[in-house]
Structures are given as structure tokens and as C-alpha cells.
Amino acid sequence: MATLVFFHAHPDDESIATGGTMRRAADEGHRVVLVLATKGEHGEVAEGFLDPAETLGERRLVETQLSAEILGVSVVEFLGYVDSGMMDTPENDVEGSFWRADVEEAARRLATILERESADVLTVYDENGNYGHPDHIQVHRVGLRAAALAGVETVFEATVNRDEMRRGFAERVANGELGGHDAPTSAELDALGVDEALLTHAVDVRPYLQVKRDSMRAHASQIGETSFFLTMPDDVFAEAFGTEWYIRTGQPTPVDEFGTWLLDE
């Protein structure tokens, strides 16, 4: 059996980007390890949601453990950095922020975990962090360096299929299910994920869609019951989240056919 380490920026990222892959790996008997760079201290939270004197970071630790149980995670680790907020915000420069962390130092922290867990597979994000979030970009940089330090040869970049998103929105506009003004602009889509030609793996996680939603629901401070994640119709959710997309680092692209599982040769 293999050990797969999923490296994410904040609590709830694991649910959205790789939750189905994680649960499938666990169900197949593999060891699943979740590493989070930060506690997500600067996420948005509704007024009155937290208990008196409770911090958002404290609540998100609890939420992470709930999500981990749902996803079959054996070990949860935090690198100890502070959430950097969105790009070009004051939180970028907070002491200890992940965005300002020395890549080599952060990579050594992660490499220590990879070595201790005898990691066979590591997942990170694409080079733009999927949508330009500073902590996600840093996950890419730190993760690739840590893999090199620890000798982990199988690395996947979790990402979004930009072309599939374009096709999906265009179809909904054409069918009258979505007004043209409600669809993302071309510029907004250009900033999301990567072109299909760069992808190497498409993991079908439709059998795990309820698991993904339950994992998202565990992160209640960030994903409330009225959020689009939890209120979109099942068919729309399946279309949006039924495939988890990856780029295998070092594998030539384009590929003739997408790989369908991270552990297939």
C-alpha cells in the first residue's frame, strides 16, 4: 500500500480540490496524510459564529479534524505558518505569513514530514495556485522543493480544467439555465486553473460526491449551509466537482489519454 501526502494551503482546500481522491485512496487501503500550511486564520466568518474568546484559527483546527475523519485521513499536520490573506492585502505581510516564508526553510519542514511518513505521492497546486492566491502559489513552490529534498518522485499538481469550465458555462447560457451576465468573464476564467492541454490526469470522483459535500460541510465557518457549494443542485455539483484534475510533474504534455488514478503507472 502507498502513502499519499496532500499538501494544502488552508483548511477546506482539501475538501474542494482533492477530497474525492483522498477518500478513494483511503478506501483502497492506502495511507492518507493531510498537511496544511496554515490554519486559515484570515478567512471570513459570520458575526457571532465563534464562541466568546474563540479565534477563527482555533475553530478551523476542529473543523479540519472533522473533515479529516470524513476523508479517511490518517495523519493531519500543520507547517505552522499564518494565513496570508488574498493577494495584495495587508495580511500578506503579517509576521509568519506563508507568502513571505523562506521557501527553503518551509520546504525543509515539509520534507521532514515526507521522509517520516515515507511518502510515495505528493500533491500540490499548479504554479498559479489554481486562482492566484498567494498561499496556493507558495504551496506549489514549497511542495516541489520539498519533494526534491525528500526524494519523492511522484508529484501531482491539483488544478482546474479551464476549458471544461468554459464549455460548461457556455452550455448553460445556451440552454437558458444561466444569463450571460451571470457567467464568468473570459478574463476571470483565464485566471482559473490551466488549459486542458496541460492536464495529465482526470480522477472520476462521482462516487464520492456526498463525501466531498460532507467534508465541505465540516468547514462550517467558511462553507455555510447557504453557500453555493451546498445549495447547488446535485447535477450541477457533479458537473463542477465530479472530476479532480491533476498535472503529473515531469510528465510530457499533451497526453494522448488522461490517466485516471494517481497510483496507476
Q: Is residue 179 part of a domain?
A: yes
Same domain, 115 and 190: no
CATH number of the CATH domain containing 121: 3.40.50.10320
Map 108-169 to HEC letters: HHHHHHHHHCCCCEEEEECCCHHHHCHHHHHHHHHHHHHHHHHCCCEEEEEECEHHHHHHHH
Q: Could you tell me where the beta strands, DSSP code E, fall in the chain?
A: 3-8, 31-38, 75-81, 121-125, 154-159, 201-204, 243-248
Burial 152-161, CB ≥16 within 10 A → b, else e: bebbbbbbbb
| Same domain assignment for residues 140 and 219 | yes
Q: Does the residue 22 lie in any domain?
A: yes
Kindly report which listed range (8-12, 183-187, 249-253, 258-262) carries the lowest average pLDDT score: 183-187
- Domain assignment present for residue 60? The answer is yes
Domain shared by 180 and 106, yes or no: no
Q: Which domain holds residue 178?
A: 162-196
- On whether both 214 and 191 belong to a single domain, the answer is no
Same domain, 168 and 180: yes
Is residue 130 situated within a structural domain? yes
pTM: 0.95
pLDDT at 110: 98
Per-residue pLDDT at 165: 83
The pLDDT, as a whole number, for residue 153 is: 97
**Is pLDDT larger for residue 227 or for residue 180?**
227
pLDDT tens digits along 85-125: 999 999 999 999 999 999 999 999 999 999 999 999 999 99
Per the structure, the count of domains in the chain is 2
Quick one: pLDDT at residue 184?
67
Is 253 part of any domain? no
pLDDT tens, residue by residue, 173-184? 777 766 555 556
Domain match, 62 and 157 both: yes
- Overall average pLDDT of the 45-73 stretch: 96
Chain mean pLDDT for the chain: 94
Q: Is the residue at 263 inside a domain?
A: no
Residues 6-41 have pLDDT tens digits of 999 999 999 999 999 999 999 999 999 999 999 999
Residue 59 shares a structural domain with residue 173: no
In a domain, 262, yes or no: no
pLDDT classification of 191: cutoffs 50, 70, 90: confident
Grid cell, residue 90, equals 495587508
Calculate what percentage of the chain has a pLDDT beyond 90: 85
Give the CA radius of gyration of the chain.
18
Q: Is residue 211 a part of any domain in this protein?
A: yes
**Same domain, yes or no: 178 and 236:** no
Same domain assignment for residues 88 and 45: yes
Q: Are residues 183 and 237 in the same domain?
A: no
Same domain, 231 and 128: yes
Question: Is there a single domain that holds both residue 84 and residue 149?
Answer: yes
Grid cell locating 35: 498537511
